[in-house]
Structure 1
Amino acid sequence: MYLRHLQVGQFRSWELADLALTPGPTVLVGRNGQGKTNLVEAVGYLATLGSHRVSADAPLVRHGATQAVVRAALRKDERELLVEVEINPGRANRVRVNRAPLTRPRELLGLVKTVLFAPEDLALVRGDPAERRRFLDDLLVSRTPRLAGVRSDYDRVLKQRNALLKTAKLARGNALATLDVWDGHLTELGGQLLEARLRLVADLAPYVADSYASVAGPGADRAALGYSSTVPL
């Protein structure tokens, strides 16, 4: 698969950008602050429906605009795909593939494949565990798109459970009557995510070790990759 054409409208600093691309390396050259990284971010958004720089969609929309659009034509084997994402902060985003709307935006996940290297990747080793979990979960969804639903449901249940605990402090009566139900949902969904993370780490471990050995050279310690959890494994 390769990206044949990219168009963005009202995305970050770009009012409109239209790029025709060819197979092979493409180098974007320009002064600082001209929007080169914004174009890379737009391509990454098609693959993950998220940004590697911010956690919300609002900063992706150009100042003064109400929505942003990222449109890309991709060639996979002999098949042509047109992917369009309409980013609407505060409202539901819209996604179309070959002009046909998708029922849910996350149905796009797994269709566009990208690998991104950015300065923000240092957070994987310097940041807190939440950054590493986010990286693993993004990779999980890219590899197994159905896990996007599990991840979304887990986040939703966690927020509702936490909201229940907060309101229970002020409420009277049996405000925590449904806590066991939320705990059950959280345990089930969290277990699915944990199992998938463990499998992913096991699959990645030999590649990490080999890649490190190729850089460190003979005689260096062998790199290891593991997953530590507060839940007994």
Structure 2
Amino acid sequence: MYLKSLHLRQFRNYRDCLINFDAPKTILLGNNAQGKSNLLEAVELLSTLKSHRSARDRELVLETTPIAEIRATLERTYGSVELGLTLRTQGRRTVALNQESLRRQLDFLGILNAVQFSSLDLELVRGAPERRRAWLDSILTQLEPIYAYILQQYNQVLRQRNALLKKIRKQQQEEGVDASVSKEFHAELALWDAQLATAGSRVTRRRGRMLKRLAPS
């Protein structure tokens, strides 16, 4: 699999730019602030649907324009594939495969695989553990697209459980530090604990398998 072409419209500092990758290897040369990193970021978005530089789509759209589009053509063993990603300053992003919109973004993952190296990767060693988990999750999402759904389930359960814990703390503050948790809260917390354990074990198993694959033989 290799990237044949990349078309950027109103993405970052690109108004309308079509790039064809005709050579086996491509090296980007240019002065600072000309868009080299933006181009690589576009490839990253098509690969993982995430950007390591921005968490908000509106920051990826060219100023004064409502949408940005990233289009790419891939050459794979079974033929060419066209990918499309539309980002909006307001509203949800949409993805397309061979010019057909996909209802689930999960179906978009795993088609274009990319590996990124950056000076920021030093944070994998000296940074916080969540950075290493995020890096591992990004690899797993490309190799096992279903992992994106598993991780989404885990995070959703975790948010629900944390919201319940806030309610419990609020009740204890209002009724006193020694106030016991109501039976209703206790039963609901047990439910979320069980779901969190199930979802967390699925995430942990896949991360463990990935670490074994990365370990030197």
* TM-score between the two structures when normalised by the length of structure 1: 0.82
For the structure 1 residues 189 and 82, does the alpha-carbon distance in structure 2 shift closer, same or farther, using more than 3 Å as the test? Answer: same
Distance in 1, Cα, partners of 2:61 & 2:191: 38
Residue 179 to residue 67, structure 1, CA distance change in 2 (3 Å): farther
**Which residue is equivalent to 2:71?**
71
Residue 7 of structure 1 aligns to which amino acid in structure 2?
H
Matched residue, 2:163: 163
Identity, % of aligned positions:
36
Structure 1 counterpart of 2:215, from 199, 205, 208: 205
Query: Is residue 194 of structure 1 aligned with residue 196 of structure 2?
Result: no
1:78 shift after superposition: 5.0
Deviation of 1:99 (Å): 1.0
Contact 1:49 1:106 in 2 (8 A): no
Cα-Cα RMSD: 1.9
SS in 2 for 1:170: helix
Q: Which has the higher contact order (CA 8 A, sep 6+)?
A: 2
Alpha-carbon offset, residue 176 of structure 1? 5.1
The 8 Å contact of residues 66 and 90 in structure 2, kept in 1 or not, is answered as no
**Within 5 Å, which residues of 2 pair with 1:63-212?**
63-89=63-89, 91-170=91-170, 174-175=184-185, 177-206=187-216
The answer on whether the counterparts of 1:50 and 1:57 sit within 8 Å (CA) in structure 2 is: no
- Counterpart of 1:49 in structure 2 is 49
The offset of 1:186, in angstroms, is 1.2
TM-superposed deviation, 1:16: 2.0
Alpha-carbon shift at residue 202 of structure 1 (Å): 1.1
Asked whether the equivalents of residues 113 and 142 of structure 2 are also in contact (C-alpha less than 8 Å), the reply is: yes
| Separation in structure 2 between the aligned mates of residue 125 and residue 81 of structure 1, nearest angstrom | 36
Residues 164, 65 of structure 1: alpha-carbon distance in 2 compared, 3 angstrom cutoff: farther
CA offset digits 1:155-191 (Å, max 9, x no partner) = 1111122122223333586445422222111111110
Task: Spell out the pairing of 1:209-224 with structure 2 (5 A cutoff).
Answer: none
Paired residues in the alignment total 207
Distance 2:26 2:197 in 1: 45
Structure 1: gaps (5+ residues): 208-233
Shift in Å, 1:49: 0.5
Query: Deviations for 1:92-114, whole angstroms, at most 9, x for unmatched residues?
Result: 22111111111111211111111
TM-score by length of 2: 0.88
Name the residue aligned to 1:226.
none
